């Protein structure tokens, strides 16, 4: 079986696990377990806390001591156990700790899956800018398949979503045994030790420091839509005019249009990165995030409003891919192969670590602040987030110094 096909299967299962609960767990906790917005934000902040600690740490281990494919397997095994237990929890405090264990195990696997893909592609002599995005598309397809499964089975407000995620994790554990061996860089001399820590001193380079800071700030934006997109759509059920609408009955299917949009935009990444460079691509992402939230603010299940909701789902693909996937490829191009795992772990730490933690906590507090007697002022909430995204774009334009060289990107070997 071709290496690209094997990596596509891994990517599909990787994100099927996440898609089984990431978008719908907030609705389950709010509607079924009666958690407050702040409590839901705290639970979701666990992946931020974990991503601050674990991807960089596991990245170093994968660079020096333990094969990345074996680290990947062990992490998913622990995550499966935590998901199984989480399905039985009904208190905010215990849910926080159990999902923290899951996050500590799962978050490193995102960077590790990238590392495994980049390493296998390099071994096969394939260009990562051209071949990685199509592999990552299958992760998006896995996420969509999971969302549709949970929605069509009527499990959005049920703990069964967590059991499905657990079963998927165990399946990936078994599949991980078939992945190609990823050689470690070694653990010998002082020069090797120095190279490993270079991933953490990338902040000494002004361009990389600014890039990582804005990756963190965009990571905060991503958490807002992950946590509260589904509860927002579920709340339309309170309006008798919309209680029987498609939006209320199938919110995950509507939200999955966002992931479908990802499939298209992922495939455009090689063109946009080579043609315009990372600065322009990141600016496109920030503007798309602003549109995502602004369209949410005025969207509803009415004939006109549902068009706005659909447009919001479509621009999400650009918003997510043009900073998350493009950012990962940019980091791969900027660092040497001997710190590949560490650098990808650092990027993941900034996006899904610090950014996710801050975004989860502040968005939860914002939702509670703009709520009165349990009724959330969603329009104001989304407009506040839209203004934040626009402000990021303006500041990033003036702060990030980057001269795009299309010919260099087209000829640079992977990992250098």
Structure-token pair, residue 175: 């599949």
Pairwise CA distance, residues 328 & 266, whole Å = 12
Q: Which residues contact 76 (CB under 8 A, 6 or more apart)?
A: 17, 105, 106, 109, 169, 170, 172, 173, 176
Pairwise CA distance, residues 62 & 79, whole Å = 18
For residue range 119-165, what is the model confidence (pLDDT) as tens digits?
788 777 776 667 777 888 888 889 989 989 998 898 988 999 999 99
CB–CB of 224/18 below 8 Å? no
Give me the residues of the chain with pLDDT under 50, please. 188-197, 409-416
- Predicted TM-score (pTM) of the model is 0.73
Structure-token pair, residue 126: 């394939």
CB–CB of 386/293 below 8 Å? yes
Pairwise CA distance, residues 35 & 28, whole Å = 9
Full set of structural domains in the chain with CATH: 3-411 (1.20.1250.20)
Q: How far is CA 152 from CA 91, 149, 156, 161, 166, in A?
A: 27, 5, 9, 12, 19
Pairwise CA distance, residues 232 & 353, whole Å = 24
CB–CB of 108/66 below 8 Å? no
For residue range 56-100, what is the model confidence (pLDDT) as tens digits?
676 667 666 777 778 888 999 999 999 999 999 999 999 999 999
Q: Which of 186, 203, 204 is nearest to 195 (CA)?
A: 186
- The predicted pLDDT at position 359 comes to 83
Beta strand residue intervals within 223-273, DSSP E = none
């Amino acid at each position: 079986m071709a290496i690209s096909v094997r990596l596509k299967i891994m990517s599909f299962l990787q994100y099927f696990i996440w898609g089984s609960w990431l978008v719908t767990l907030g609705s389950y906790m709010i509607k079924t377990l009666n958690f407050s917005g702040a409590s839901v934000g705290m639970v979701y902040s666990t992946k931020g806390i974990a991503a601050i600690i674990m991807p960089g740490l596991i990245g170093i281990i994968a660079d020096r001591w333990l094969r990345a494919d074996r680290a990947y397997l062990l992490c998913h095994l622990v995550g499966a156990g935590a998901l199984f237990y989480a399905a039985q929890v009904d208190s905010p405090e215990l849910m926080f700790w159990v999902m923290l264990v899951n996050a500590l195990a799962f978050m490193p696997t995102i960077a590790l899956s990238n590392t495994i893909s980049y390493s296998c592609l390099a071994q096969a002599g394939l260009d990562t800018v051209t071949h990685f995005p199509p592999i990552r598309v299958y992760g998006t397809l896995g996420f969509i398949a999971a969302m549709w499964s949970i929605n069509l089975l009527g499990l959005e407000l049920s703990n069964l979503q967590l059991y499905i995620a657990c079963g998927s994790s165990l399946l990936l554990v078994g599949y991980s045994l078939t992945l190609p061996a990823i050689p470690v860089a070694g653990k010998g001399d002082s020069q090797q030790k120095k190279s490993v820590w270079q991933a953490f001193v990338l902040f000494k380079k002004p361009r990389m420091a600014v890039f990582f800071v804005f990756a963190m700030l965009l990571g905060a934006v991503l958490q807002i839509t992950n946590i509260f997109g589904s509860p927002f759509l579920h709340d339309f059920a309170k309006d008798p005019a919309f209680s029987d609408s498609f939006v209320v009955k199938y919110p995950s299917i509507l939200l999955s249009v966002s992931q479908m949009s990802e499939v298209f935009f992922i495939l455009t990444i090689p063109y946009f990165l080579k043609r315009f460079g990372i600065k322009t691509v990141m600016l496109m992402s920030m503007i798309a995030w602003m549109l995502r939230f602004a369209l949410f603010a005025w969207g509803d299940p009415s004939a006109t409003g549902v068009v706005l909701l659909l447009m919001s789902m479509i621009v999400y693909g650009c918003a997510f891919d043009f900073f998350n996937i493009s950012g990962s490829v940019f980091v791969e191009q900027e660092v040497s192969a001997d710190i590949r795992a560490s650098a990808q772990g650092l990027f993941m730490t900034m996006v899904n670590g610090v950014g996710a933690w801050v975004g989860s906590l502040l968005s939860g507090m914002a939702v509670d602040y703009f709520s009165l007697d349990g009724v959330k002022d969603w329009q104001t909430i989304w407009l506040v987030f839209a203004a934040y995204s626009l402000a990021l774009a303006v500041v990033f334009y003036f702060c990030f110094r980057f001269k795009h060289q299309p010919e260099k990107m087209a000829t640079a070997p992977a990992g250098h």
